[in-house]
Structure 1
Amino acid sequence: MSEPRWLTAEEQQVWRSYQAASAMLRAHLEGQLQHESGMPPSYYEVLVSLSEANGRRMRMSELASVLDSSRSRLSHAVSRLEAKGWVRRESCPTDKRGSWAVLTDSGFSALAEAAPGHVEAVREALFDQLTPEQVRQLGEISEAIANGMRPRCQAVREAADAADEAAELVSPVAATATSG
């Protein structure tokens, strides 16, 4: 086994600063959304993605991909959004296993109410702290990190989806075996 590539003192300091800033920013924005709008960020992200989609609708599999989410996790979130009346599911006429998530007028209104406060919180917490040059650099750095992580995240998501599908196949068989 090869020797670990330990972080330099400078890299260690940058890593810890990045972790602290990311955690504080995430906690602040999650708290703002929950307090002012009564919704967690995952719901907000689903509503935003659907609001930007053609006809305010997306295939569930495409929505999961856009949100970097497993289909199972997305399905649970959409179920909760359905219960609020913010999203509805529609069957896909060309694929019996597929379905669409559709943003309702009520969901669009909830998003329209939440967005101004959320955007202001993002602006105050992030962009107001940076110069225009730092904003550009942050964009480039963030894109480089995302591009490097995308294949790894895709592999993890695919493994989670495969495990969920396997569990769905086993579940009816187990139920039948134990009911007899």
Structure 2
Amino acid sequence: MGRLSHLLQTESHVAAADYAVLVNLTDVPEGRQRYQDLARALEWEKSRMSHHITRMIKRGLVVREDCPEDGRGAFAVITEAGREAIAAAAPLHVQAVRSLFLDHLTAAELRTLAEISARVMERLDDAPER
């Protein structure tokens, strides 16, 4: 993960944490998600999410919108600059994952890895959160 983060940062100037947030925002309608849902999706503490979003706001990658239904809640919303950053970084991310990991496995090993990963994810989905 360290090498992937370093490649992403040096090649696209997008930090791995920014990339993770932006990917999640591009995967939801209107590019907006409540802080708490985004934190849950990334498995981050609420305070980490809040501080990180504040830094991303300063760089123009996202904006904060108040939640009309809940005065304490807020949405992170991807900006056009955020969309441009993820569009530029995504191909580099794919290339880095391939060169660091996937290119070193056979088709049979990839199938086995997929089966193992699916089984682990299924168990995680069934396990109660702590």
TM-score, normalised by the number of residues in structure 2: 0.89
Kept in 1: contact 2:14–2:85 (CA 8 A): no
Alignment of structure 1 residues 89-168 onto 2, 5 Å: 89-148=64-123, 154-155=129-130
Separation in structure 2 between the aligned mates of residue 153 and residue 34 of structure 1, nearest angstrom: 35
SS of the equivalent of 2:71 reads strand
Higher relative contact order (CA 8 A, sep 6+): 2
Q: What is the number of equivalent residue pairs in this alignment?
A: 130
Paired position in structure 2 for 1:46: 21
Q: Per-residue deviation at 1:136? A: 2.3
Letter in 1 for 2:7: Q
Q: Per-residue deviation at 1:146? A: 4.4
SS of the equivalent of 1:97 reads coil
Higher share of residues assigned helix: 1
Q: Which of 31, 49, 55 is the equivalent residue of 2:30?
A: 55
Change (3 A) 1:61 1:43: same
Separation in structure 1 between the aligned mates of residue 117 and residue 37 of structure 2, nearest angstrom: 23
Larger radius of gyration: 1
Separation in structure 2 between the aligned mates of residue 152 and residue 67 of structure 1, nearest angstrom: 17
Letter in 2 for 1:101: A
Separation in structure 1 between the aligned mates of residue 67 and residue 52 of structure 2, nearest angstrom: 19
Letter in 1 for 2:58: A
Paired position in structure 1 for 2:39: 64
1:33 aligns with 2:2: no
Q: Per-residue deviation at 1:48? A: 0.5
Change (3 A) 1:147 1:123: same
CA RMSD of aligned residues (A): 1.9
Q: Per-residue deviation at 1:76? A: 1.2
Seq. identity, %: 39
Point out where structure 1 has 5 or more consecutive residues left out of the alignment: 1-25, 156-180
Point out where structure 2 has 5 or more consecutive residues left out of the alignment: none
Letter in 1 for 2:69: T
SS of the equivalent of 1:89 reads strand
TM-score, normalised by the number of residues in structure 1: 0.66
